Amino acid sequence: MKILFGVQGTGNGHISRSRELVRKLKEDGHEVQVVISGRKEEELREIEIFKPYRVLKGLTLVTYRGRMNYIDTMFQLDLARLMTDVLNLPTFGVDLVITDFEPVTSMAARMKGLPSVGFGHQYAFPFRIPVARGSMFEKYTLLNFAPARYNAGLHWHHFNQPIFPPVIPESLYQAGKTVENPRKILVYLPFEEIEDVDAFVRPFDSFHFYIYGKVKDNFDDGHLHFRGYSREGFLRDLLECGGVVCNAGFELPGEALHLGKKLLLRPLDGQIEQESNALAMIELQYGLAMHKLDHDVLQHWLGLPGIQPLNYRRTVDYIAEWISSGRWDDLRTFTDAAWRDKDGRD
């Protein structure tokens, strides 16, 4: 099967899970052509598996100090460039379009009448899952930013809906058991300013905080350890830490739950997906959430015990099998099989 695969480049989580599915589809003999949009090519990391790929401008959501900035988002839109990219996107001979919240491939599929699959957490929202109140604009944007005909949605729990478990990187299955340090805390708050994160965690000097963010060079400042992005270093610190403080995205919390790391989420204000994730985390009793960088909440969370690993299995195997089968209306058969193959809580 010839597959056109779109990846939203603005978030490392999109790239991480798409990397796993693209690898599996190629192993199964499919021809996969990848489009990445939303980030400059020189800012992309560890995307060799996507070759041959092309990088397009796409659409980017603008944030500032932990909040969505819809005005700046509107000002940076280049609709003429977007439509040009959609119309010029080569689709001859394509049997299926897969989009991980990537708008160019989504729009191309609709305009050219191609079957499309939405792959990722955002595609769980058409089903009955916890959803924050939000505005009508926020809900419309979430459901219509990059829609698809068929939805391979992902979530930390099935909620009795035809959605898949999270996609966990192969490296986390291969890592084996590591020695966990309960006083080592991984911090990943990319939508916050680094000085705000510093002030947030600095008072708790009995813990070591490994803070990933916008820093030019790695450096240590007492119990604070600042790190630039490195997938290898990040996964090592994730395996060794006792807990994770992060935004309420989807991929990193899923990896932490898989490994049994306690979680404290800070959802991006005005982003209904993240606010919904924080709501789900609390409802499932998998972790805590805060709606600002709150010292009291952090102090309470640091004193909590760890959690049991949820041990998610190889979700991409079931998604790839579903895609290859062509039985795209028969989603429940494959999602149920994926959850039955998972150890731990359902």
pLDDT digits (tens, 9 = 90+) for 3-42: 999 999 887 788 889 999 999 999 999 999 999 998 887 7
What tokens appear for 326 in the block? 């062509």
Q: What is the pLDDT averaged over residues 326-342?
A: 93
User: Closest by alpha carbon to 10, among 36, 44, 39, 50?
Assistant: 39
* Residue in 36, 38, 58 with CA at minimum distance from that of residue 47: 36
Task: For each of the domains in the chain, give its residue range(s) and CATH number, in order of start.
Answer: 2-168+313-340 (3.40.50.2000), 170-302 (3.40.50.2000)
Gap between the Cα atoms of 245 and 262, Å rounded: 9
Q: At residue 218, what is the residue type?
A: N
What percent of the chain has pLDDT above 90? Answer: 69
Give me the count of residues in the chain.
346
Q: Where residue 194 falls among pLDDT bands split at 50, 70, 90?
A: very high
Query: Of 7, 59, 13, 8, nearest to 229 (Cα)?
Result: 13
Q: 3-class DSSP state for residue 182?
A: strand
Quick check: 116 and 98 in contact, CB under 8 A?
Answer: yes
Torsion of CA 330, 334, 335, 341, to 10 degrees: 160
11 vs 120: CA distance, rounded Å: 12
pLDDT digits (tens, 9 = 90+) for 48-106: 899 889 999 876 665 555 555 555 555 566 677 888 889 989 999 999 999 999 999 99
Going through the chain in order, the beta strands assigned E by DSSP cover: 2-8, 31-37, 53-56, 63-64, 67-68, 96-100, 116-120, 150-153, 181-188, 208-212, 219-221, 224-227, 241-247, 262-266, 288-289
Q: Beta-carbon neighbour count of residue 198 at 10 Å?
A: 17
Cβ atoms 194, 226 nearer than 8 A: yes
Pairing mode, strands 63-64 and 67-68: antiparallel
Phi and psi at residue 287, in whole multiples of 5°?
180, -175
d(CA 192, CA 296): 18
Instruction: Please state, rounded to an integer, the average pLDDT across all residues of the chain.
Output: 90
pTM: 0.89
